[in-house]
Amino acid sequence: MCKPPPKIKIISRGGLHIGLDQSGNGLEVDFQAEKSDTPQSEAESDVNEQFVYWDDLIRQIDAQMERIGWTVERGRQDLLNKYGVRSRLLLSDEQVFEFLDFLETQPTPQPAWKVGQKCLYNGVKVVIERLINSVVAVVRRIGTIEEMEVALAHLKPMSG
């Protein structure tokens, strides 16, 4: 019989507590409101629970690293610099969430365009004739002599 993957139970309230969930299969992250003498209404005391699987967090980290163009070695270097470990498996649960949040805030890099490069502009195959500045290029529709100025943000790389 297969054991389910480890999970982290997140209970959203005010403060933060991390511990094993009741099944013992994962860590419980409990966001608890600060203690007060004022009684809470039934609605205020409701708890929003959700389970987060470790494997899902790792997949999200992988997806973010791919999005920003990081290699495995680049990720290891960042882990080493920030947390002193070379593997995500050695991070605490809090550090995994922190690392994922960091990756999600990184901008998606734009391709480095070059003169002579073929690309797509509004679905039409074009070649870059000259780069005017860091945001505008003169392109020519492939097979014609027609040139036009376009914003680099509107160009898409051609595969292959």
pLDDT in tens, 110-142: 778 899 999 999 999 999 999 998 889 999 999
CA angle 79, 29, 58 (to 5 degrees): 40
pLDDT of residue 135: 87
pLDDT classification of 36: cutoffs 50, 70, 90: very low
CA 83 to chain centre: 18
pLDDT of residue 29: 52
pLDDT tens across 58-101, in order?
999 999 998 888 899 999 999 999 999 999 989 998 999 999 99
Work out the number of other CB atoms within 10 angstroms of the CB of residue 53: 15
Helix (H, G, I), strand (E, B) or coil at 115: coil
Residue 45 confidence (pLDDT) above 50: no
pLDDT classification of 12: cutoffs 50, 70, 90: very low
Report phi then psi at 95, rounded to 5: -70, -35
Residue 40 confidence (pLDDT) above 90: no
